[in-house]
Structure 1
Amino acid sequence: MFMPTSDAILARLLRLHPKVIDLSLDRMHRILAALGHPERALPPVVHVAGTNGKGSTLAMIRAGLEGAGHRVHAYTSPHLARFHERIRLAGTLIAEDALADLLEECEEANGGAPITYFEITTAAALLAFARTPADFLLLEVGLGGRLDATNVVETPALTVVTPVSMDHEGFLGDTLAKIAGEKAGILKRGVPCVVGPQEDAAAEVIEARAARLGAPLLAHGQHWHVSREGDRLVFQDETGLLDLPLPALPGPHQIQNAGTALAALRALGTGDPEAAMRRAEWPARMQRLRDHPLNRLAPEAELWLDGGHNPAAGAALAATLAAMPPRPTFAVCGLLSTKDAAGYFRPLAAQLQSVRTIAIPGETATLSAEATAAAARSVGLAAEPAEGVEAAVGVIKAEHPGVRVLVCGSLYLAGFVLRMG
């Protein structure tokens, strides 16, 4: 009997709702009831929301838990190269046959009713997590928190809110306080919440919701502190001090993410802090590409990939570049039309020699190469449109051999680049 591939099923699921994003929990509750409520049969859940740093923080929590011998499920989004990356069962990416079976089961349970792609695939993930034994489930919010499809777990073991900044204003609100309110929607009555570094407007909203729910807060700057001391990371909370290696994930911003992860492990009462620092991996977050087809275009150049896409991510990327050994850096950038392009480029202007802008292949919501270049020029960054990633890297190589080349601006662009390899 012919078994449809997961890709074919996913293509069908995309057509079940006219909108890609439609924030609501009604459809999730309906399909989960039809599936027998897998959300009620999960291992202890760590629910992670925030604008920036969710994935990196989750990766470090996972490394710490696995380093202590725990079996850990993880749910993240979006994927980069293949959908299977979103669902990790007890440490291993979900197998193709298992994924196809789960998607078909959810499709049948849904009965053709309107439901978004993220909702029905999240239902499939929860079904997988409920059926596979594990010690913990790390659950990353897709968008926002309050009405996100992942926010169906009534009593997680722990919630985590990483730094909140301006992004997805069309869905989450046009002020930092409104966005923070959506992120804080994952807080649950009596459940501890680890809070990463926040601007005052965001912190006030999170603290107010925690007070209403009686949710104990473990907040950066109040209950825990983290800093870099030379080539070591120092974390301190009421339990004591940890002197650890620096995070394996590059960039100064990873110090704060590491602190959030360590605070989460302390709150869970388990985990190996050193493993959290040494073993965490998270693709397309300032990732060095060594064995990649684009290297053939510029073998003498360093090639890096980063999927950050909002102003806060631009600032983190600029700080990362500033901390690296000095080398002229030229960027190849593609952005979605929903993003604040000028805000993304503004902190990078001082770190980049110039940027070649491209449209993201296969993405209808891409910003054009010309519009992306105009946004870069508006903040004083030299920019020229290019036909694509290979053409842009080729031009940089021809004009500036031996430099650092950074492909950046979108996780969708990062996924395209990784699939090239």
Structure 2
Amino acid sequence: MPRLDPFFAEWSARRPGQRRSLDRADALLRELGLDRPRVPVVGVVGSKGKGTTATYASAALSAAAIGNVLVTGPSFRSYRERVRHDGTSVTEEELAGLASELDRGRLSLPPVEEFGGYLAPSGMFLMAGLLHARNTGARVCVLEAGMGGHRDELRLIGPEVVAMGKVFGEHLGVLGDTVPEIAREKAGVAGVHTQSLVSLPQTSEVEDAIGDALAEATGDAVRAETVDPDTQDAWPPPDLRPPGLSAASGVLGVAAADRMLGLLGEDRAPDGLLTRVLESVRLPARLSRHPVPGHAGEVIVDSAINGEGVAAALAHARAVWGGVDHVLLCLPDHKDVAGAEEALAGLRVTAVRLPEAHLRFDHALPDHWSRIDADAVTPGAVAALGDRVLALGTVYFTGRVLEAVEAPTDTLFGRG
């Protein structure tokens, strides 16, 4: 197992009230020689669907023979999944090498106390992606932001292309007190190097907030462009998009790749080749379907976190199977537990608790729901619930389910 201390060391040692330091992250970027020049970057932000958007952007670039490094988070079964080359996870040796490079740079910086904050793991993985691109000669990086905003390391990196997913109230009270405030904050990853921002359709208030932030960040040189999946010429066509609510994110990802190809002076891959690559995309925990080892049943896994997502996942499972025998649901209190409960009315449900100390599971649940701890989610336990089990909830949980059923997660797409 590769040594992961450099990614988590300062976060693990943080003091109460201490926050991530972008000044320290900026110093590390410069120490590593990643401030400039570096490969062009597609930066992905939004409230939901960032991983899907980033994956489809990476796939479309790979189809056009543009070697690229993809950074997403969090991981499902291995931290290697957070850094990929043309859709495939780095090896343990590659991740260990990246960790060593980061560690040498980190240890050469002044002490954490001089910056008043720590290096955050998500930012360290973004830098690992840039290092891997430099080491392998990749031409583009596709980087998924954390929450996004001016406090995100992606802002320091300065993406040439920004892909803005749908913005809703996922981070109310954290990134802003209203959805437009959240949108404005997320658009803050744009900067002087940004040449394009493509966005899924938003409310007029959110569009205005994004436009204002982009104008401020680029000196009014860039205008946001809306990519509407419902238009007739939107690509990819519906049969090549991911299922459920992720469909629009697939369209946004291809559009972002198109804008990057334009900046590079390259053409989109021929439709036949691009079709083959997009047909091969497999997104773990996004309505992904898996056999249960040693048993006849199947599980569909989806990282739905609100009532709308739960309802969409349920509709998908019913379309695939004709019905659902049981639902495993893991939503901490800060997610839309009430919305999920409404969407699952009348179904057999087991609520799952995670051990992470920062997550609360005190929301009152229906008396007829069962309750278990996450450690009890084993292949045998899943099979005992029926042949058609739907596992829904936070990524921390869906990753555990994927591990339990030994789901393949290292390769997201083929090369056509």
Is the contact made by 1:177 and 1:201 (CA closer than 8 Å) also made in structure 2?
yes
Q: CA deviation at 1:24?
A: 4.7
Unaligned runs of 5+ in 1: 228-233, 237-241
Aligned to 1:336, the other structure's residue is in SS state coil
**Corresponding residue to 1:22 among 14, 19, 32:** 19
What is residue 263 of structure 1 aligned with on the other side? 255
Unaligned runs of 5+ in 2: 113-117, 407-416
User: How far, CA to CA, are the matches of 1:407 and 1:396 in structure 2?
Assistant: 9
Q: CA deviation at 1:196?
A: 0.8
Amino acid at match of 1:110: R
Is the contact made by 1:16 and 1:116 (CA closer than 8 Å) also made in structure 2?
no
Deviations 1:363-387 (A, max 9, x none): 223333xx35x24x3xxx9522134
Establish whether residue 32 from structure 1 lines up as the match of residue 29 from structure 2.
yes
User: How far, CA to CA, are the matches of 1:21 and 1:337 in structure 2?
Assistant: 24
Establish whether residue 354 from structure 1 lines up as the match of residue 348 from structure 2.
yes
What is residue 6 of structure 1 aligned with on the other side? 3
> Taking structure 1 as reference, are residues 325 and 96 closer, same or farther at Cα in structure 2, changes over 3 Å only?
closer
Amino acid at match of 1:254: S
**Corresponding residue to 1:210 among 207, 214, 226:** 214
- Compute the TM-score of the two structures, normalised by the length of structure 1: 0.80
Is the contact made by 1:70 and 1:135 (CA closer than 8 Å) also made in structure 2?
yes
Q: CA deviation at 1:40?
A: 1.8
Aligned to 1:286, the other structure's residue is in SS state strand
Output aligned runs, 1:331-350, within 5 Å: 331-346=327-342, 348-349=343-344
Is the contact made by 1:247 and 1:254 (CA closer than 8 Å) also made in structure 2?
no
Deviations 1:293-328 (A, max 9, x none): 3x63xx2x4311112324553354355346545313
Q: CA deviation at 1:393?
A: 8.0
Deviates more, 1:64-73 or 1:326-335: 326-335
User: How far, CA to CA, are the matches of 1:249 and 1:206 in structure 2?
Assistant: 26
Establish whether residue 75 from structure 1 lines up as the match of residue 71 from structure 2.
yes
Is the contact made by 1:165 and 1:312 (CA closer than 8 Å) also made in structure 2?
no
User: How far, CA to CA, are the matches of 1:21 and 1:247 in structure 2?
Assistant: 45
Is the contact made by 1:68 and 1:271 (CA closer than 8 Å) also made in structure 2?
yes
What is residue 410 of structure 2 aligned with on the other side? none
Output aligned runs, 1:228-243, within 5 Å: 234-236=232-234
Provide the identity percentage.
26
What is residue 96 of structure 1 aligned with on the other side? 92
User: How far, CA to CA, are the matches of 1:327 and 1:174 in structure 2?
Assistant: 40
Is the contact made by 2:161 and 2:196 (CA closer than 8 Å) also made in structure 1?
yes
- Compute the TM-score of the two structures, normalised by the length of structure 2: 0.81
What is residue 164 of structure 1 aligned with on the other side? 167
Output aligned runs, 1:13-412, within 5 Å: 13-18=10-15, 22=19, 24-36=21-33, 38-111=34-107, 112-113=111-112, 114-154=118-158, 156-189=159-192, 191-212=195-216, 213-221=220-228, 225-226=229-230, 234-236=232-234, 244=237, 246-247=239-240, 249-251=242-244, 253-267=245-259, 268-269=261-262, 270-272=267-269, 273-275=274-276, 277-290=278-291, 292-293=292-293, 296=295, 299=296, 301-311=297-307, 313-314=309-310, 316-318=312-314, 320-321=316-317, 323-324=319-320, 326-346=322-342, 348-349=343-344, 353-360=347-354, 362-368=355-361, 371-372=362-363, 374-375=364-365, 377=366, 383-388=369-374, 390=376, 401-402=386-387, 404-412=388-396
Q: CA deviation at 1:279?
A: 2.5
Deviates more, 1:381-390 or 1:94-103: 381-390
Aligned-residue CA RMSD (Å): 3.1
User: How far, CA to CA, are the matches of 2:236 and 2:386 in structure 1?
Assistant: 41
Amino acid at match of 2:250: A
Aligned to 1:5, the other structure's residue is in SS state coil
Amino acid at match of 2:226: A
Deviations 1:274-308 (A, max 9, x none): 24631222211111011x33x63xx2x43111123
Is the contact made by 1:21 and 1:116 (CA closer than 8 Å) also made in structure 2?
no
Aligned to 1:358, the other structure's residue is in SS state strand
> How many residues in Structure 1 have an aligned counterpart in Structure 2?
384
